[in-house]
């Protein structure tokens, strides 16, 4: 991925943003479960101005709310939903709190006290359709590896969060929210295998499983093949889901939705493209699909 990004960043420099062409999704059907994933990019609390700063957030937050409402999902998995300050304190989360305040029909799962449960990968869910049964998280790497890398510049905590839901009919569903390594293929492959190993007891009980998130891997790469080899159907939009915060579609989708065979993709997936309220909601597009539960 690093080599790919170095190549395309050379193309980005000097390229202007294309005209915003919003792509809408069809109206949600009450007979289906609409699910979505969206990497919303972290916020620098200590940065007053510039990309991903507090000032930038004050502008783009309206676009993020607009695209969230348009997606109209029953479940939405977020990545990088974190406000990073000068220390380890993560009690402030501007994006999470903003969307919850503007969308009172939703609650948050796969999140908790930041001192014990990382909060950057929550799952929003519609409370009139689902209730949370259980939740948790796990690292993709051993603690000693994480401890060593924390001392390195640019450290990012890669992990998976998960939640068990039950719909109004009593149907259970396990949802994994994943974010795989940005530039290390071996780490991405290891993460995919770790997720499959974690869900093995759930699959043995016959519970449908959904995996959503930013996999930082193109279709056909071994990371995605590992999930498909584990019995998952991985679907993705037809073109880019990452756009450099400029609307540039330079390679295929890296955000996708994967599901066990007992979950049928009845419509989609769609990438909800374009600006909203004059700005890009993030450097990724939301990816949305409609599912039919058993």
pTM, entire model? 0.92
Rounded CA-CA distance 244/9 in Å is 9
Q: What per-residue confidence (pLDDT) applies to 154?
A: 64
Res 127 pLDDT > 90 = yes
pLDDT over 90 at 70, yes or no: yes
Q: What is the pLDDT of residue 21?
A: 61
Which pLDDT tens digit goes with each residue over 140-194? 988 877 877 777 676 678 999 999 999 999 999 999 999 999 989 999 999 999 9
Q: What is the pLDDT of residues 71-113, one digit of tens each?
A: 999 999 999 999 998 887 898 999 999 999 999 999 999 999 9
pLDDT, tens digit, 9 for 90 and up, residues 189-226: 999 999 999 999 999 999 999 999 999 999 999 999 99
Please give the pLDDT value at position 20.
43
Q: What is the pLDDT of residue 12?
A: 42
- Is residue 7 pLDDT above 80, yes or no? no
Whether residue 3 is predicted with pLDDT greater than 60 in this model: the reply is no
Q: What is the pLDDT of residue 193?
A: 98
Tell me what pLDDT residue 141 has: 85
Quote the pLDDT of residue 102. 99
Token readout for 237 is: 């939009």
What's the pLDDT score for residue 23? Answer: 73
- Give residue 15's pLDDT: 42
Mean pLDDT value across the chain: 92
On the 0-12 / 13-18 / 19+ scale of CB atoms within 10 A, 13 is exposed
Give the start-end residues of each E strand in the chain.
33-39, 43-44, 75-79, 83-84, 106-109, 123-126, 130-139, 159-167, 172-179, 209-214, 233-235, 255-259, 264-271, 287-292
Phi, psi at residue 123, to the nearest 5°? Answer: -120, 115
Q: What pLDDT digit, counting tens, does each position of 241-292 carry?
A: 999 999 999 999 999 999 999 999 999 999 999 999 999 999 999 999 999 9
Instruction: Set out the domains of the chain in order of their start, with CATH numbers.
Output: 32-292 (3.60.10.10)
Give 40-53 pLDDT, tens digit per residue.
999 999 998 999 99
Q: Which residue has tokens 């080599």?
A: 3
DSSP code for 18: P
């Amino acid at each position: 991925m690093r080599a790919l990004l170095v190549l395309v960043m050379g193309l980005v420099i000097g390229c202007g943003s294309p005209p915003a062409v919003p792509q809408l999704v069809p109206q949600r059907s009450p007979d289906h479960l609409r699910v979505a994933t969206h990497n919303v990019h972290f916020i620098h609390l200590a940065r007053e101005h510039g990309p991903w700063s507090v000032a930038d957030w004050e502008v783009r937050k309206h676009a993020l709310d607009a695209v969230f409402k348009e997606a109209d999902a029953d479940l939405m998995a977020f990545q990088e939903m974190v406000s990073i300050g000068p220390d380890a304190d993560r009690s402030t989360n501007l994006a999470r709190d903003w969307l919850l305040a503007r969308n009172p029909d939703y609650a948050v799962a796969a999140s908790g006290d930041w001192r014990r449960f990382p909060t950057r990968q929550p799952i929003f869910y519609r409370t009139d359709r689902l209730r949370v049964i259980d939740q948790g998280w796990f690292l993709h790497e051993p603690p000693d590896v994480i401890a060593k890398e924390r001392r390195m510049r640019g450290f990012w905590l890669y992990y998976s969060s998960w939640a068990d839901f039950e719909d109004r009919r009593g149907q259970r569903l396990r949802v994994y929210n994943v974010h795989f390594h940005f530039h290390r293929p071996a780490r991405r492959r290891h993460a995919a295998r770790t997720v499959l190993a974690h869900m093995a007891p759930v699959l043995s009980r016959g519970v449908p499983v959904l995996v959503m998130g930013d996999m930082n891997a193109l279709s056909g790469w071994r990371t995605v093949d590992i999930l498909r080899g584990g019995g998952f159907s991985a679907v993705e939009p037809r073109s880019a889901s990452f756009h450099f915060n400029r609307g540039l579609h330079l390679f295929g989708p890296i955000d996708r939705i994967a599901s066990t065979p007992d979950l049928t993709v009845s419509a989609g997936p769609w990438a909800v493209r374009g600006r909203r309220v004059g700005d890009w909601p993030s450097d990724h597009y939301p990816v949305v699909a409609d599912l039919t539960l058993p």
